[in-house]
Amino acid sequence: MKTTKYTTVLLLFITIFYACKEEKATETPEVVVEEVIPEPEIKYGLNFDNYKVINDTIKSGESFGIILDRHHVFYPKINEISTTIKDTFDVRKVRAGKPYTILASKDTSEIAKIFIYKHNAIESTVINFQDSIISAYKYREPIKIVEQAVSGKIIDNFSNAIDTLGYAITLANEVADIYSWTVDFYRLQKDDTFKIIFEQKFIKDTIPVGFGDIKAAVFNHKGQELYAYLYQTDSIKDIPDYFDSEGGLLRRQFLKSPIKFQYRISSRYNLRRRIKLYGNKVRPHKGTDFAAPYGTPIMTTASGTVVESSRRGGNGNYVKVRHNNTYSTQYLHMKRRNVRVGDYVKQGDIIGWVGMTGNTSGPHVCYRFWKNGRQVDPFRQKLPTAKPMADSLKPKYFEFINPIRSQLDSIPLPPSELPIEEEVTEEIIAKN
């Protein structure tokens, strides 16, 4: 009897246990849905999600005031903004064609609260007037610098070779500056080759916005390998410059031309020149004319001080630069001048733009060159080089360039094209 009682209790326990287990097994599991909160859109240090975003471009004839007025900011407020931020940003200097962003209130009034003026792909000015305190600050996009290594072959000219590689012409200009006294870029030969190691700048990791230093390059021109290395000595006073494989300085005190690429010499220095327009009389030409498209930048060929910047007679708009006690240069017929008397300009600085002012039948710059107060032909002068590298510094320089030369030499050149007959033969062999 006793045994039967315990047996009954045990069976009842087992039945209840399995019944509970089965019930749990048939329960539908609870699904937990996590709410995904999107990341806020932060630009220029601002949360764009808090505003209505309006992107536009400044049209011809538009001003800062006109734009804000259109976005419901009235002129007393506009004048207050302009006065408050004048030390940071001059609103009169906004230019047609420049993009801008308005951050406006999200309500139906859509009143502008912030104005962002984009100087270029990297730099912007942010003007915040949504509160009682008006402020303006410069914003610069974070830049990522990536080292690139490329090689190419000349088919027609260097600019096109760089363009074929997918890089902007500014890279070609930079390289041309380095070799300005070593390579004549208008006389490069078909199948000349080059290799370049340079820095490229990106914003947002993928958008190219220009170039940094060109670290090294080599041109194979007329069977010669012409190396160039960017190097700075230990001296604090010295700036980085380009040297060849032997430590020789590539830069001269004067550039060959005040124009970088798009030019041709339309008239040379000639004291016996006869001009048909003046009855074939001898009219000495004491300058060198560089024909170039209207508006092409004009560079000073050497560092110095601007001693004349004016418009006068047949010279039109012109600038004269005194480089030292021996040399001066002059640049005539400018569309517009970019410097004033007393300005110090460095070699390669833009001092004006090609125009047709004064006595001229087409857009060009007449480049005049003085030595000891007398006008001379710059192409017939033995012009001084810049300060060379001291012999004591060369061992360290050679140690520096050795790995860079190895890097340059290891860059593969583009494959040579096979003759048509060979390509056809290979195609027939492949089919058989």
**Residue length, the chain?**
432
Q: Which CATH class is domain 142-251+388-432?
A: alpha beta
Phi-psi region of 376 (alpha: psi -120 to 50; beta: other; left: phi over 0): beta
d(CA 330, CA 309) in angstroms, rounded, equals 10
Helix (H) or strand (E) holding 431: helix 420-431
> Where along the chain do its domains lie?
42-140, 142-251+388-432, 264-380
Q: Are the CB atoms for 227 and 244 separated by under 8 Å?
A: yes
Q: What is the DSSP string of 7-63?
A: HHHHHHHHHHHHHHHHHHHHSPPPPPPPPPPPPP-EETTEEGGGSEEEEEEPPTT--
d(CA 51, CA 44) in angstroms, rounded, equals 13
d(CA 77, CA 148) in angstroms, rounded, equals 49
Q: Are the CB atoms for 317 and 355 separated by under 8 Å?
A: yes
CATH number for the domain formed by residue range(s) 42-140: 3.10.450.350
CATH number for the domain formed by residue range(s) 264-380: 2.70.70.10
pTM, to two decimals: 0.62
Q: Say if 142-251+388-432 and 264-380 have the same CATH topology.
A: no
Q: Which of 211, 259, 209, 251 is nearest to 230 (CA)?
A: 251
- Per-residue pLDDT in tens (0 to 9) along the chain, 432 residues: 555 556 666 666 666 666 655 555 555 566 666 666 778 888 888 999 999 999 999 999 999 999 999 999 999 999 999 999 999 999 998 999 999 999 999 999 999 999 999 999 899 999 999 988 999 999 999 999 999 999 999 988 888 999 999 999 889 988 987 887 777 676 777 888 999 999 999 998 889 999 999 999 999 987 889 999 999 876 545 678 899 999 888 877 788 889 876 677 877 777 666 555 555 665 677 888 899 999 999 999 888 899 999 999 889 999 999 988 888 999 999 999 999 999 998 888 999 999 999 988 889 999 999 988 888 888 887 776 666 788 889 999 999 999 999 999 999 998 865 444 444 333 333 433
Q: Are the CB atoms for 363 and 292 separated by under 8 Å?
A: yes
**Torsion over CA: 159, 161, 164, 167 (sign):** negative
Q: Which of 366, 288, 378, 287 is nearest to 326 (CA)?
A: 378
Task: Please tell me whether residue 162 adopts helix, strand or coil conformation.
Answer: helix
**Torsion over CA: 89, 92, 98, 104 (sign):** positive
Task: Please tell me whether residue 274 adopts helix, strand or coil conformation.
Answer: strand
The CA-atom distances, in angstroms, between 50 and each of 47, 107, 141 are 6, 11, 21
d(CA 150, CA 414) in angstroms, rounded, equals 10
List beta partners, residue 137.
126
